[in-house]
Chains A and B, each alone.
Chain A
Amino acid sequence: MTEFISPTLSYSLLSPILVVFAGAIIGVLIEAFASKSIRPIAQVSVSIGTLVLALVQVWRIRNSSSTTAAMGSVIIDGPGLLLQGTILVISIIAIFLIADTENFAAAAAAIPGSPEERESIARGQQVTEVFPLTLFAVAGMLIFPVSSDLITLFVALEVLSLPLYLMAGLSRRRRLLSQESALKYFLLGAFSSAFFLFGAAYLYGYSGSISFAGIREAVVGGTGNDVFLLIGMAFLSIGLLFKVGAVPFHAWSPDVYQGAPTPVTAFMAAATKVAAFGAMLRIYYTVFANAEWSWRPLLTAIAIISMVFGSLVAIAQRDVKRMLAYSSIAHAGFLLTGVIALNKAGLDASIYYLFAYGIATVGAFAVVTLVRDSAGEVTDLNRWAGLGKRSPWVATSFATFLLAFAGIPLTSGFIGKFSIFSAAYESGATAVVIAGVLSSAIAAFFYIRVIVLMFFSDPLEDATSVLIPSILTRITVLFSAVVTIFLGVFPSPLLDFISNIAIFIR
């Protein structure tokens, strides 16, 4: 009988993750034991407190690095911590939106249209389980970019995905659409997870190891059977590309973005992307770096298709959430450019881009939650006409985010695109840069069309009204807009900060 070895954990370095898990469990306990009247306020405070505490922990250990924080299954290093920080910042402003329970079903378990549903609405019930779910998802996201073996990576993937599947089905209005999207997301997610696992198995077959370091050694040494490597790599990539919504694994994203409650969409669109790209950066920059001859051409093709497809189809959209979904597909392509660059500048630029894009995305969806009529959110773009005349502040902030998405100078989006494209250009990936610039031009067309619609068109008869934002939503919109502008005007502090500490350790 082999002796049991008790694991040694570096609690200090794992504290951000542990804090979020602890917060999630407290949230579950509140659901179970606290009275209904105090649940909402308790959940909101616990969630915000947890995330802020975790962010403080990330800041505290910002200069640490270790490969043995959890028996070799996670790596704490600069890029990992930067991405964790980004995820936490995004989660904090997203939880402000989620706290506005107007967006969520009164009782998620009640069948749409049933007497139980009417009763729960009449009683003024509120869904509060969304908070612990969010925290669990955040915890999974925090592990995802710092995982250093395939099992941890997979577990993190599932921990972050499962709560999201549920959260997508919680919408208060158009519940059937919401539940359909949740089911779609779940089925396709499970499908892609299968691919992911399949790939992991092949990689184990190739290298005889599940740790990143072991696979990397095998790739460098060239000892294994290349067919196993290639198949494993391809299937693993499918799982990751599905999460970031790159073409042709994007099909779920417009439906889910549209069906999910908008605060959840905001959280999902921004934070999931950061986590998934974080993991991709680590895997391609460290594990597969020496096999770049095999994957760079492929990712280049996928990046180009994503950018062009996302930008082109976005033009045809009439629904603001679907438009943002296609825009996020195009942005997945832009971000892949940073992976392809495979140099230090590309890493820095990707992290900067993820931060800037994540913030602007949450801000944009936050604005979407505000534009309403009596039946809930209005996502039909035609009815956004003239919004700038009636609600100049809301429209101006939305315009700011759109300009950032379009990469117009003096917004964070410009600096992000500029640095990511220049990094890719330095590495010789000229084709993807050309495609990127061209599709940016196409994309600018539909972003600016929305701005024109908001500011220069006359409102229609059935005008939408803008909700008076709650203080938390207001903070989110304001914070996002200020950060978006600030990073466009003074990018240097953040860029320098990232470039100083973003170094992968292996």
Chain B
Amino acid sequence: MLVNNGLVYLIALPLFGSALLLLAGRRADKWGHLFATAMSAMSFVLGAVQFYEMLGRDAENRAVTQKLFTWISVGSFNVDAGLLLDQLSICFVLLITGVGTLIHIYSIAYMDHDKDRRRFFAYLNLFIAAMLLLVMGDSYLNLYVGWEGVGLASYLLIGFWNQKPAYATASKKAFIANRVGDMGLSFAIMIAFATMGTVSFKGVKEAAEGSSQGALTAIGLMLLLAATGKSAQFPLQAWLGDAMAGPTPVSALIHAATMVTAGVYLITRSNFIFDAAPTAQLLVVIVGAITLLFGAIIGTAKDDIKKALAASTMSQIGYMVLATGLGPVGYAFAIMHLLTHGFFKAGMFLGAGSVMHGTGDEVNMRKFGGIRHFMPITFATFGLGYLAILGVPPFAGFYSKDKIIETAFYSGGIKGILIGSIALFGAALTAFYMTRVMILTFAGTPRYDINNPPHESSFLMLLPMGILAIGSVASGFLLARGEALVHWLEPLFHAHEGHGPEILPPVVISLMALGVVIIGASFAWFKYGRGPIADTAPTNVSIFTRIARRDLLQDDFNESVFMRPGQALTRLLVKTDDVVVDGAVRGVASATLGSGAALRTSQTGFVRSYAALIVIGAIALIAAIWAVTL
């Protein structure tokens, strides 16, 4: 494989920015944000150069590597810290640095009034560096470092305003849910090492062919657990809604466009494991299908604009995970949806941030209404994102989501029809809740003080929104034209295997998808578009609405099944610790003190007794030698 010793600068630049901003302290307040943005932008430029060079090579020689240093070398266990930039990672690199830079620019204006803006940018740069390491590591262990790094950055940014206890709790919740998933990743690495003796992607790929089904399934399930934690998939999805406590640019970058898609990356990168472990692969499909409905249902009931978008993110990532579970044909479509989603969801989050900025940090959509008159540009960019996520042709989501639904139907048998229908139903729900968001926010009559109307955001905020809106419009077409992305990624997967029988012609499936989208959107229109909207949520609603508002009881479930028994167990352990362990320790301590008192007599401070001790020692030594040699 080609070697390129410049890869490390992609990561080093934002890492340096982060370190400098944190170490320089208040001295960097004046220029820190600009510096961080420049680092991110330069990283993007380097990524673009790499991409351009990659385009110039033929398919076999596109991947480049760089060995940084020998990280661990213990006996037969050797791990080099190395980087790998291939067709898959470059997609992520461009997304991370590209969208990341836009969000840096947006944040300059968004965080203008925050006295800790420099710290915010330091964390953003840290995130960029860690995420790049995640997608550019050449082994699971290197990936793990980045994986933990983004977890840290996410924790720091969710709790950025940690002076509010609720926000601090939210960051802890995200951290703990992620820890559960991270354990999965560490177990996967351990199993891979124990059974294959290597943890590099290349090595595991080669070893996977000769490995036992049991080991592969175990690794696959553990990787899936890791993916569910990071990507907020069922059953570790509960943290994502609370993660919206962080500043909105963070929600856009980390909790919509990039970090939460790390699970999809992990599964796609591990395609050789999942392809060889059908049980694990089936579970991937099931997790994806459950989550896409789960998120969509929660999305229908949320009044908080950011939480509605978060639920939507969960659901859209469900689509991606579903696609990765469909085997070789699905990976490319998962990545395609990931990229288009990166554009339109980040754009919509920035739009939501813009609305919040204009209305004095209001997030309750029932307090909005008619905002399109006051913030026309925000409305336009958000609207383009809306059309994209619905999958209206020719916007981006149409190409990517349609392909996933189609592949789901073609995956064969009852399973294909079932998951195809779920994906289709999810599309209808998406249309419903997104239309609801649009109507509540931008349409209708104002439900706020009309004398103090919202104001359009500044140019620095509108610029990234505009660029992302262009992506929402065009990215799908560009990626799907002539199956560009599929061919681009082909060398990584056994994509030539093709899919199952075409039970319906593709055009019929597209029409069906479009049909359910129209039904979903119309339904939302009939429910919210015609009459006045109450500015507080109605309470006399059905049990289903109530459950959906409570996030399908995910927190109640976690609290009653894990948290309370956990707390009880902790109390029990503390008590055991007090009585049994401390009792033993106290016993040992008093025994030690007793012996300490005895031993202290040896430390009299008199030279004569020290010398006597040496003599006694010498005699004992001679006696012992005598005994040993006899």
Chain B residues 613 to 630 lying within 8 A of chain A, measured CB to CB, are 613-614, 616-618, 620-622, 624-626, 628-629
- One digit per residue, 1 when the CB lies within 8 angstroms of any chain B CB and 0 when it does not, for chain A 298-339 equals 100100000001001101100000000000000000000000
Contacts of A316 in B (CB 8 A): 592-593, 596, 600
Nearest A residue to B626 by beta-carbon distance? A230
B541 within 8 A of A: no
Nearest B residue to A191 by beta-carbon distance? B611
A492 within 8 A of B: yes
Take A226-B629, A309-B599, A313-B599 as given contacts and tell me if A238 and B614 are in contact as well, using a CB distance cutoff of 8 Å. yes
Nearest B residue to A496 by beta-carbon distance? B73
Cβ A230 vs Cβ B607 within 8 A: no
Q: Which of A188, A238, A251, A293 contacts B602 (CB 8 A)?
A: A251
Chain A residues 227 to 274 lying within 8 A of chain B, measured CB to CB, are 230-231, 233-235, 237-238, 242, 248-249, 251-252, 254-255
Cβ B629 vs Cβ A294 within 8 A: yes
What would 9 more interface pairs be, CB under 8 Å, given A195-B614, A248-B613? Answer: A187-B607, A294-B629, A298-B621, A298-B624, A312-B592, A312-B599, A316-B592, A490-B71, A492-B72
Take A234-B622, A255-B605, A316-B600 as given contacts and tell me if A188 and B629 are in contact as well, using a CB distance cutoff of 8 Å. no
Nearest B residue to A492 by beta-carbon distance? B73
Cβ A251 vs Cβ B610 within 8 A: yes
- Classify chain B: how many residues form its interface, as a range: 20 to 34
Q: Which of B617, B626, B629 contacts A248 (CB 8 A)?
A: B617
Nearest B residue to A190 by beta-carbon distance? B611
B570 within 8 A of A: no
Cβ B618 vs Cβ A195 within 8 A: yes
B595 within 8 A of A: yes
Cβ A238 vs Cβ B600 within 8 A: no
Cβ B607 vs Cβ A249 within 8 A: no
Contacts of A187 in B (CB 8 A): 607, 611
Take A254-B603, A294-B629, A298-B625 as given contacts and tell me if A188 and B614 are in contact as well, using a CB distance cutoff of 8 Å. yes
The minimal Cβ–Cβ distance linking B338 to chain A, given in whole angstroms, is 33
> A231 to B623, alpha carbons, bound, how many Å?
10
> A238 to B592, alpha carbons, bound, how many Å?
28
Cβ B592 vs Cβ A315 within 8 A: yes
A412 within 8 A of B: no
The minimal Cβ–Cβ distance linking A460 to chain B, given in whole angstroms, is 23
B536 within 8 A of A: no
Contacts of A254 in B (CB 8 A): 603
Take A192-B614, A238-B617, A238-B618 as given contacts and tell me if A184 and B607 are in contact as well, using a CB distance cutoff of 8 Å. yes
Cβ B628 vs Cβ A297 within 8 A: yes
Contacts of B602 in A (CB 8 A): 251
Contacts of B451 in A (CB 8 A): none
> A254 to B599, alpha carbons, bound, how many Å?
13
B contact residues vs A (CB 8 Å cutoff): 69-73, 592-593, 595-596, 599-600, 602-603, 605, 607, 609-611, 613-614, 616-618, 620-622, 624-626, 628-629
The minimal Cβ–Cβ distance linking A501 to chain B, given in whole angstroms, is 17
Take A238-B617, A251-B610 as given contacts and tell me if A315 and B596 are in contact as well, using a CB distance cutoff of 8 Å. yes
Contacts of B595 in A (CB 8 A): 312
Take A248-B613, A249-B614, A301-B624 as given contacts and tell me if A230 and B596 are in contact as well, using a CB distance cutoff of 8 Å. no
> A312 to B616, alpha carbons, bound, how many Å?
21
Nearest A residue to B70 by beta-carbon distance? A492
> A77 to B73, alpha carbons, bound, how many Å?
26
> A295 to B616, alpha carbons, bound, how many Å?
18
12 of the cross-chain contacts (CB-CB < 8 Å) are A230-B629, A234-B618, A238-B614, A238-B617, A238-B621, A248-B620, A249-B617, A255-B605, A294-B625, A297-B624, A298-B624, A316-B593
Contacts of A234 in B (CB 8 A): 618, 621-622, 625
> A226 to B630, alpha carbons, bound, how many Å?
11
The minimal Cβ–Cβ distance linking B19 to chain A, given in whole angstroms, is 15
> A142 to B376, alpha carbons, bound, how many Å?
80
Nearest B residue to A246 by beta-carbon distance? B617
> A192 to B71, alpha carbons, bound, how many Å?
45
Contacts of B607 in A (CB 8 A): 183-184, 187-188
Cβ A184 vs Cβ B621 within 8 A: no
> A448 to B628, alpha carbons, bound, how many Å?
39
Nearest B residue to A313 by beta-carbon distance? B599
- One digit per residue, 1 when the CB lies within 8 angstroms of any chain B CB and 0 when it does not, for chain A 175-214 equals 0000000011001100110010000000000000000000
Question: Does more than half of chain B's interface fall in helix, strand or loop, or is it mixed?
Answer: helix
Contacts of B600 in A (CB 8 A): 316
Contacts of B610 in A (CB 8 A): 184, 188, 251-252
CB-based closest 7 A-B pairs: A248-B617, A251-B610, A316-B596, A230-B625, A234-B621, A492-B73, A184-B607
Cβ B596 vs Cβ A251 within 8 A: no
The minimal Cβ–Cβ distance linking B81 to chain A, given in whole angstroms, is 10
Q: Which of A249, A255, A294 contacts B628 (CB 8 A)?
A: A294
Contacts of B599 in A (CB 8 A): 309, 312-313
The minimal Cβ–Cβ distance linking A302 to chain B, given in whole angstroms, is 8
Cβ A313 vs Cβ B625 within 8 A: no
The minimal Cβ–Cβ distance linking A122 to chain B, given in whole angstroms, is 33
Contacts of B620 in A (CB 8 A): 248
Nearest A residue to B611 by beta-carbon distance? A191
> A316 to B593, alpha carbons, bound, how many Å?
7
Contacts of B609 in A (CB 8 A): 251
> A490 to B73, alpha carbons, bound, how many Å?
10
> A293 to B622, alpha carbons, bound, how many Å?
15
Nearest A residue to B597 by beta-carbon distance? A316
Contacts of B622 in A (CB 8 A): 230-231, 234
> A92 to B622, alpha carbons, bound, how many Å?
40
Contacts of A293 in B (CB 8 A): 628-629
Contacts of A496 in B (CB 8 A): 73
Contacts of B629 in A (CB 8 A): 226, 230, 293-294
Contacts of A235 in B (CB 8 A): 618
Chain A residues 89 to 139 lying within 8 A of chain B, measured CB to CB, are none
> A255 to B69, alpha carbons, bound, how many Å?
46
Take A235-B618, A312-B595, A313-B599 as given contacts and tell me if A251 and B613 are in contact as well, using a CB distance cutoff of 8 Å. yes
> A39 to B399, alpha carbons, bound, how many Å?
82
The minimal Cβ–Cβ distance linking A236 to chain B, given in whole angstroms, is 11
> A254 to B625, alpha carbons, bound, how many Å?
28
Contacts of A191 in B (CB 8 A): 611, 614
Contacts of A252 in B (CB 8 A): 610
Contacts of A231 in B (CB 8 A): 622, 625
The minimal Cβ–Cβ distance linking B541 to chain A, given in whole angstroms, is 49
- One digit per residue, 1 when the CB lies within 8 angstroms of any chain B CB and 0 when it does not, for chain A 11-51 equals 00000000000000000000000000000000000000000
Contacts of B605 in A (CB 8 A): 255
> A248 to B602, alpha carbons, bound, how many Å?
10
> A192 to B605, alpha carbons, bound, how many Å?
18
> A295 to B625, alpha carbons, bound, how many Å?
8
The minimal Cβ–Cβ distance linking B238 to chain A, given in whole angstroms, is 32
Nearest B residue to A199 by beta-carbon distance? B618
> A234 to B624, alpha carbons, bound, how many Å?
10
Contacts of B592 in A (CB 8 A): 312, 315-316
Nearest A residue to B74 by beta-carbon distance? A492
Cβ A313 vs Cβ B596 within 8 A: yes
Q: Which of A188, A195, A255, A312 contacts B596 (CB 8 A)?
A: A312
> A387 to B317, alpha carbons, bound, how many Å?
48
Contacts of A226 in B (CB 8 A): 629
The minimal Cβ–Cβ distance linking A239 to chain B, given in whole angstroms, is 10
Nearest A residue to B599 by beta-carbon distance? A313
The minimal Cβ–Cβ distance linking A154 to chain B, given in whole angstroms, is 18
> A312 to B610, alpha carbons, bound, how many Å?
19
> A195 to B610, alpha carbons, bound, how many Å?
15
Contacts of A492 in B (CB 8 A): 70-73
The minimal Cβ–Cβ distance linking A264 to chain B, given in whole angstroms, is 19
Contacts of A188 in B (CB 8 A): 607, 610-611, 614
The minimal Cβ–Cβ distance linking B292 to chain A, given in whole angstroms, is 41
Contacts of B621 in A (CB 8 A): 234, 237-238, 298
Nearest B residue to A317 by beta-carbon distance? B596
Interface centre among B593, B602, B609, by most chain A C-beta atoms within 10 angstroms, is: B602
- One digit per residue, 1 when the CB lies within 8 angstroms of any chain B CB and 0 when it does not, for chain A 467-506 equals 0000000000000000000000010100010000000000
